[in-house]
Every structure is written in C-alpha cells, then in structure tokens.
Structure 1
Amino acid sequence: MTPPIGSILLGTTDPERLRAWYSTALGAVARDDGFIMFGEVGLLIDGRDDVAASTTEPGRVIVNFHVDDARALEQHLDAIGATWLSRLAERDYGMLFGTLIDPDGNYVQIIELGSEYNEMLRNKESDHVR
C-alpha cells in the first residue's frame, strides 16, 4: 500500500510570522503544536536554526492549494497585501493558476482545476476502462 502524505514541514526562522501569514491568507487556524491542517495534510511550520531567513531556491518545493473559487481567493489575497510572483491566469483545460510568495520567499500556488479539466480526466479514465 502506498503511504499517504501526512504533513509537509516548512522550516523558518520566524514560525509565528509564517503561521500567521498562512492562516490569514488561506483561512486555516494553526494548532498549538504548530500544524495548520489543509484537508488531511498538515503543514507544520517549525522554527529552525539551520535555515536562512529567506529561501535561496524558492522553486525547489512549491506548496499547491487546490481551491474551488480561485478568483474569490485572489480578491482576499489582494486585500491582505499578498505578494504575487505570477497573477492568477487561465491555463490548459480552463485551469486557473497563480503563484504567491510567502514571507520567507517560498512559492505557493493557488490552483482551480475547473470543470474542463475534470471532464478531461473522466474521458481519460473511461478510455483506460475500455
């Protein structure tokens, strides 16, 4: 059996600031143990003394958040002053993608898959069944 991803660790020199940003930006509440739950996957933001205050390779690991209404989230993120690397834009199959930069310089993507993408997946799955 393939094990599920249980959590993702973001090491930072300022965990309180980074937890507050993720909580404010994405509407989730940080638990006392440092985890912020996004569905079944926990994002653990932990203080570390072996990392720089800002990442030097922000594209190495990108946390993707799949959302139902990317345009509404875009408005919220604009209202809180989030920094965009790449504004929300339509891609293949009607998907919407946007890339933010968190306070430590990490890239965070907002993705709305949309009905066109889901239809394409259903068609591919039915092709494999035949």
Structure 2
Amino acid sequence: MLRGLTTVSFWADDLAAAKAWYTELLGLEPYFERPGYAEFRIGDHQHELGLIDRAYAPAALATDGPGGAIVYWHVDDVRATFDRLLSLGAKEYEPLTPRGPGFVTASVTDPFGNVLGVMENQHYLDVLAALR
C-alpha cells in the first residue's frame, strides 16, 4: 500500500538555476546534494523535493511541454503563494480553482518546465491537528 509521499522529483536543464530558484522560493538551502541532484526537506512532515539534472530523466519524460502528475503542496494562503510563484517567474498552469468547502487549488509551471501545485486543503489541516 501507498504509505506516504517520500520524494517528488523535478527535472531541470540547468540544475544550478533550478536550485537557486527553489532556494529563493522555499527560503532554505538543499539539505542534500550530489552531482546532478539537490534535495530539499520541506513542510510539516519534511517531505522531499528533489531537483535532478534532466540528463538523468527517463526517456518517457522527454516532452515539449509540462506533463505528468500534479502534486499539490498544502499552503496556508493559496492566493498569496500563487502570486509569489508568478512573481518569481513561474507561469500559470491552472488558475485558482475552488474544489469545494475548504479546498482550493492552483498550479504553475516553474521556469524549468515542471508543474508545481499548491492547495488550501482542510483535510491536511485536520490530519495535522489530530497528530498534535
């Protein structure tokens, strides 16, 4: 069974630029690096966001545009986060979209062609409160 998110992998032609962009966005440096790879631990559960040199991407990921699954990261203010992402050079992929009471999503394409989803998610907050 699926037990939880371990690492989300994003690919970049320019790993140094991607690392700098995500360091600016997240306000922290990667906790782990090796040639062709940088990894951040973020959020309440220290989920991992890995940046990988596109040279190591599986051939099936070769595409002219964004693709794959959209992973939504919980944020406390989806509009402010969405606006910040756009101000850092990301492009709108999906506008702010209400999904029902307590759930709003949006997504962007980062400057490296990856889709990054953000979401206000009441279920996330409920689970976090129950763990405390």
TM-score with structure 2 setting the length: 0.68
Provide the residue aligned with 2:7 in structure 1: 7
Q: Counterparts in 2 of 1:1-130, with a 5 A limit?
A: 4-33=4-33, 34-39=38-43, 40-51=46-57, 55-56=63-64, 58-114=66-122
Give 1:56 deviation, angstroms. Answer: 3.7
Structure 2 regions of 5+ residues with no counterpart? 128-132
Task: Give 3-state SS (helix, strand or coil) of 2:101's partner.
Answer: helix
Task: Give 3-state SS (helix, strand or coil) of 2:51's partner.
Answer: strand
The share of aligned pairs that are identical, in percent, is: 28
Tell me which amino acid in the other structure corresponds to 1:69: D
Provide the residue aligned with 2:130 in structure 1: none
TM-score with structure 1 setting the length: 0.69
Across the aligned residues of Structure 1 and Structure 2, the Cα RMSD in angstroms comes to: 3.2
Does the aligned pair in 1 maintain the 2:89–2:110 contact within 8 Å?
Answer: no
Q: 1:2 to 1:49 in 2, by over 3 A?
A: closer
Q: 1:24 to 1:2 in 2, by over 3 A?
A: same
2:66 and 2:89 mapped to 1: Cα distance? 19
Structure 1 regions of 5+ residues with no counterpart? 123-130
Higher strand share: 2
2:111 and 2:87 mapped to 1: Cα distance? 16
Q: 1:28 to 1:110 in 2, by over 3 A?
A: farther
